């Protein structure tokens, strides 16, 4: 890579269709990288110079990227670097963004744990009902929002594909954004990140568990079906992590 980043990278997202890597550092500098002759080069560079990027997401066909800033600014741009639209969500501290598989819906996760449903032009539709937080107390933040795009094939028709997980270990998996009967999971973990596998059959939840025989927490990835059934667990006692990712099956 040839660019000299001014700060530590905080957000990374991958455009699978166009094979472009997009990063943002602690100062809000956004770089779109391209692979050329075995090396990564900066294709586009942008810095709004007003706030820090909290989340970025490419849509399913790789044509659009949505960027959300901590101060409530939202920018949607095209893969060729043109700005499509921008909006200021006043009074909202943004933390996450996710596209629906058909690119008609944007989900914005707020710093206070709320999830707001918008259309793809930036118009508010409704606040999402969060069923998995029933009887939860204390400050809660969103650990991850991942909407499986369906490119690898669903497990079965009408399979839950939208996963929302909170740092207190509570998760809900939904069939669509307004699903009134989500699958609710209590992982009993302190969750850091979530990720679907390539075909939407397994949800990986990364975080930490307190070991009963130790005076410390152990990093772990737990695996669930879309219906909340436990598929397995991987202990990572000597590893620190802040996110999960997936390898696309070749």
Cα–Cα distance for residue pair 85/115, rounded to 1 Å: 21
Q: DSSP letter string over 61-126?
A: TSSEEEEEETTSEEEEEETTS-EEEEEE-TT--EEEEEE-TTSSEEEEEETTS-EEEEETTS-EEE
Q: What is the pLDDT of residues 116-154, one digit of tens each?
A: 999 999 999 999 999 999 998 888 999 999 999 887 666
Give the mean pLDDT of 172-183: 96
pLDDT band at 75 (very low <50, low <70, confident <90, very high): very high
What integer pLDDT is reported at residue 212 of this predicted model? 64
Is the model's pLDDT at 53 over the cut of 90? yes
What integer pLDDT is reported at residue 225 of this predicted model? 96
Q: What is the pLDDT of residues 20-47, one digit of tens each?
A: 999 999 999 999 999 999 999 999 999 8
Q: Are the CB atoms for 74 and 83 separated by under 8 Å?
A: no
Is the model's pLDDT at 16 over the cut of 80? yes
What integer pLDDT is reported at residue 150 of this predicted model? 80
Cα–Cα distance for residue pair 210/160, rounded to 1 Å: 29
Phi and psi (nearest 5°) for 133?
A: -95, 15
**Which pair of tokens denotes residue 234?**
């991987």
Cβ neighbors of 234 (< 8 A, separation 6 or more) are: 220, 221, 222, 223
Please give the biggest Cα pair distance in the chain: 55
**b (16+ CB within 10 A) / e for 7-38:** eeebbebebeeeebbbbbbeebbbbbbeeeee
Is the model's pLDDT at 173 over the cut of 80? yes
The pTM score is 0.89
pLDDT band at 222 (very low <50, low <70, confident <90, very high): very high
What integer pLDDT is reported at residue 109 of this predicted model? 97
Give the mean pLDDT of 77-102: 94
Q: What is the pLDDT of residues 187-202, one digit of tens each?
A: 999 999 999 999 999 9
Q: Is 131 helix (H, G, I), strand (E, B) or coil?
A: helix
What integer pLDDT is reported at residue 7 of this predicted model? 84
- What the chain holds in terms of domains, given with CATH numbers, is 1-128 (2.130.10.10), 129-250 (no CATH)
């Amino acid at each position: 890579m040839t660019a000299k980043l001014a700060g530590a990278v905080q957000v990374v997202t991958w455009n699978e269709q166009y094979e472009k890597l997009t990063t943002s550092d602690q100062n809000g500098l956004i770089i779109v990288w391209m692979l050329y002759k075995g090396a990564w080069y900066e294709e586009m560079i942008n810095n709004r110079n007003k706030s820090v990027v909290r989340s970025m997401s490419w849509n399913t066909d790789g044509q659009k990227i949505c960027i959300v800033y901590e101060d409530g600014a939202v920018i949607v741009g095209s893969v060729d670097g043109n700005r499509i639209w921008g909006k200021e969500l006043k009074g909202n501290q943004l933390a996450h963004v996710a596209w629906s598989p058909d690119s008609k819906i944007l989900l914005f996760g707020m710093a206070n744990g709320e999830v707001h449903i918008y259309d793809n032009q930036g118009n508010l539709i409704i606040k999402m009902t969060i069923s998995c937080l029933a009887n939860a107390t204390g400050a809660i933040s969103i650990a991850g929002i991942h909407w499986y795009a369906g490119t690898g094939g669903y497990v079965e028709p009408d399979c839950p594909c939208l996963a929302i997980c909170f740092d207190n270990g509570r998760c809900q998996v939904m069939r669509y954004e307004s699903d009134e009967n989500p699958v609710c999971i209590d992982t009993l973990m302190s969750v850091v990140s979530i990720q679907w596998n390539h075909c939407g059959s397994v949800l990986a939840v990364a975080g930490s568990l307190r070991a009963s025989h130790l005076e410390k927490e152990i990093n772990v990835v737990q695996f669930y079906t879309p219906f909340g059934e436990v598929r397995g667990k991987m202990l990572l006692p000597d590893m620190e992590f802040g996110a999960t990712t997936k390898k696309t099956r070749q």
